[in-house]
Amino acid sequence: MGSLPKQTLPIINFCAKNLEAGSSSRLSTSKAVVRALEEYGCFIATCTNFSSDLHEAIFRASEEMFALPTHVKTLNTSDKPSHGYVGQDPLKPLCEGLGIEDATTEEGVQRFTTLLWPSGNDNFRETVLEYSKVVGGLDEEVMRMVSEVYGITNSYESLHEATSYLLRLIKYRAPVKDETRSGIVPHTDKSFMTILHQRHVKGLEIMAKNGEWIVVDPSPGAFVVMAGDPCMGWTNGRIRPSYHRVIMEHGSEVRYSLGVFTFIKDVEIRVPEELVDEDHPLQFKPFDHFKYIHFIYTEEGTRSKFQLRDYCGI
Ligand SMILES: O=C(O)CCC(=O)C(=O)O
Ligand SMILES: [Fe+2]
């Protein structure tokens, strides 16, 4: 008996034709997005408006940034967990990352750039802003599609106004001899949505419902769109958060990846009434995104096997 074919993630094309308001292509694309998020918590978006020049430029900018001395990179601090510099951590020895808050705004990117390069770095600043805007636009498109399919566009509008974007530049080195191969341990994201992009070295794996790890092959035009815990809360449990990890091979090249993470500021995330009925009783109380993130790091949060349910489940 032959073995079952390996699973792959759904690939969804975000070309202009599939985005056209009111078209049948948009409707079928939107349904495919929701189906993928309900089934896998993620999918691969291929973007025809993402140039290979921007792909090259953003990873060169990332490489340039990681080449700065550690005492400069550690200037990137934040009062929010995992938003600032992460690295030199014995629990995650392979991984180093820096976060750029409000990365879709001139001010956010400017603040980060002058922190690391006091005399400026126009190329870095412009490249990061352009990249964040393209990926932020993809997030918005995905969220609009989800809200159209579920009939909750009003609810999305209030979240949209309150959305901020964190861009994390991430780097992993290969493990030496007996060292762990784990770049990031299996987890679900605490962001509302995450959009990941890899350079040419693979490492990202997503768990399918049957427990199989699906390896995501890097490609310059491919973005992994994934839901985090808060998105599951908003959709009353319909969308599941993606469970994923990073595994590095011995002898591998350095791996660079980029994550754009969305966060909802100042408004509570609440299940829209359209998603509550007899078959779908309300599962989550309204919650504040950043208070939820702080809960994750409390003793109760670290012990919890199902953090969102323990924080605000009904
Ligand atoms: O580097 C990657 O591809 C994944 C990063 C990730 O999962 C995270 O930062 O939450
Ligand atoms: Fe993640």
Cα angle for residues 64, 205, 63 (degrees, 5° grid): 5
ipTM confidence score: 0.99
Q: Which of 171, 197, 243, 257 to mutate to test the pocket of ligand 1 (most atoms within 8 A of CB)?
A: 257
Give the chain's radius of gyration (CA, Å): 19
Based on DSSP, count helices (H) and strands (E) in the chain, helices before strands. 11, 11
Q: What is the pLDDT of residue 155?
A: 98
Q: What spacing in Å lies between the alpha carbon of 105 and ligand 1's midpoint?
A: 22
| Chain segment 213-245, per-residue pLDDT in tens | 999 999 999 999 999 999 999 999 999 999 999
Q: What is the pLDDT of residue 288?
A: 98
Model-level pTM? Answer: 0.97
Ligand 1 atom closest to 203 (CA): 3
Q: What is the pLDDT of residue 90?
A: 87
Q: What is the pLDDT of residue 2?
A: 62
On the 0-12 / 13-18 / 19+ scale of CB atoms within 10 A, 165 is buried
Q: What is the pLDDT of residue 47?
A: 79
Instruction: Tell me which residues of the chain have a pLDDT lower than 70.
Output: 1-2
Q: What is the pLDDT of residue 67?
A: 98
108 ligand 1 Cβ < 6 A: no
Q: What is the largest CA-CA distance in the chain?
A: 65
Residue closest by Cα to atom 10 of ligand 1: 189
170 ligand 1 Cβ < 6 A: yes
Q: How far apart are the first and last CA of the chain?
A: 46
Q: What is the pLDDT of residue 49?
A: 77
Place of tokens 């208070």: 291
Own/partner pairs for 278-284, CB < 8 Å, 24+ apart? 280/236, 280/237, 280/238, 281/314, 282/236, 282/314, 283/233, 283/236, 283/237, 283/309, 283/313, 283/314, 284/233, 284/236, 284/237, 284/308, 284/309, 284/312, 284/313, 284/314
Q: What spacing in Å lies between the alpha carbon of 39 and ligand 2's midpoint?
A: 18
The secondary element (H helix, E strand) that includes residue 292 is: helix 289-296
248 ligand 1 Cβ < 6 A: no
Q: What is the pLDDT of residue 1?
A: 55
C-alpha 14/C-alpha 52 separation (Å) is 16
Share of the chain above pLDDT 90, in %: 94
257 ligand 1 Cβ < 6 A: yes
- Sorted by sequence, the CB contacts under 8 Å of residue 44 that are 6+ apart come out as 9, 10, 11, 12, 216, 222, 223, 224, 225
